[in-house]
Structure 1
């Protein structure tokens, strides 16, 4: 754009010279005077000034001003390429360089504020309704894959393999409503292996009979997680048979809400233990066995328990219980 304007000015000056008819000698003298002014200090400022202004503020619509530094209006911007305006206005909320760190900072600050999302992470979630089918099995004394032991209340059930999810469903209270309108609450103490389908719950015969005649066999149901008011007042902890200071496995019993994680305190801080399909959390190297225990439920609530010694296969009561939701 600047080159085009300079050429037009040059052509206009050339036409004026021909119109007035200045003598050749006078023209030569005038040219000599211009040359003298050009070499004096400050000479050329008039011609250099406009050129500099053009570079510093390109005209709207110029090719140089609409290159990679600023995408055309309506064109998608490349997130990997910060716009030219970003360095000029770092405090502006609209600039990419300011908004990206702001999002990262907000995300980091939000993580501690929502602990429930991290431990939950399973298939069964609070406030969600599930569809499936109810079947029945002979529950005997009520013991099952969760290894809680005999049950005094036969309103119990086995969760299908998929939703059992490596014992995450153990101890969960589930509200079941049948297609005929009948409903019951059961506690998950067992696993229904494949081919039990996702959503299917295998009820004790006693529980199924509360919904329909056992001859029905398969009953369409809807179900959801429950945080009951009539759960045990406190939960208990049990070390598995064979546990010692060199190896241990820990189980939580009588919890109102499903247990999402279990940690033990070591010399370097809290250590989360892996969970087994038979509902124990194991410390294969013994680190943390007999130390403080921290238990997290599906909602993110954490309870810390002291004074639980390594006493194999002994149910040890605690003074704590998860809140009702």
Structure 2
């Protein structure tokens, strides 16, 4: 089992003003002359942290992390204004230009995989390789599974807590019902809904209970719940099956796909469909894992993948197993 790389501090920090009112928080770490890689966090709504930098060999990679609009240390916090998939795609392109990077590797998990695919399909000439985890295609069936009916049958105890803020007569469309509360004027109702939404996700994201993961979801509850619900009530601002439809645009890009077999947030059929639309990709199904990047089997596979991609692109000798 590989460990994450040692904790490192950024060598540069930026505040990048994009479309008003948003200012993005950006870190660079690792080697300034290394292979550029962009870490794209999940949610939408979470943010980057110290662990985000540790999937990459700091001697080989120039590691770029950023908090998406309304997330983490970007401002204004939890803002939905001018906040959509395509705003974020153009933020990534503006960030690339700001940092003077010609091409980079994309590393994204869950919603980060969605955004990575959307960016790559819009700007394929800027992407050298992709490492994706916990694939989330954001299809209506995927949203229905986790937020309306499907995962609810596997976690009926946790589901009751998710249902609690929503009146019985509104439960026919839970995403819409949550959206009304998360964007309404009642701050107490907003926070109650945010905690319930985020707790549902935090409790189901790992195969085995992990209080540290649940704590992170609780810490960012308002941004995660508001921004996720905003995106999902709008079908992630994607056309039906758009990400699979547009795969021919990036079929030539090398990719490693890592997915837990027991992923209850984004079931394995997401990764299976993507892999079959991407014949050159490598799919690794982790047999004893759920959704989170922190799970040992997934973490190990991701570190191996970043090492593999760096050695391929930098023409370094492959390490023996």
Q: TM-score, normalised by structure 2?
A: 0.21
The structure carrying a bigger helix percent of its residues is 2
The structure carrying a bigger strand percent of its residues is 1
Higher normalized contact order (CA 8 Å, seq sep 6+, divided by chain length): 2
Q: TM-score, normalised by structure 1?
A: 0.21
Largest Rg, 1 or 2 = 1
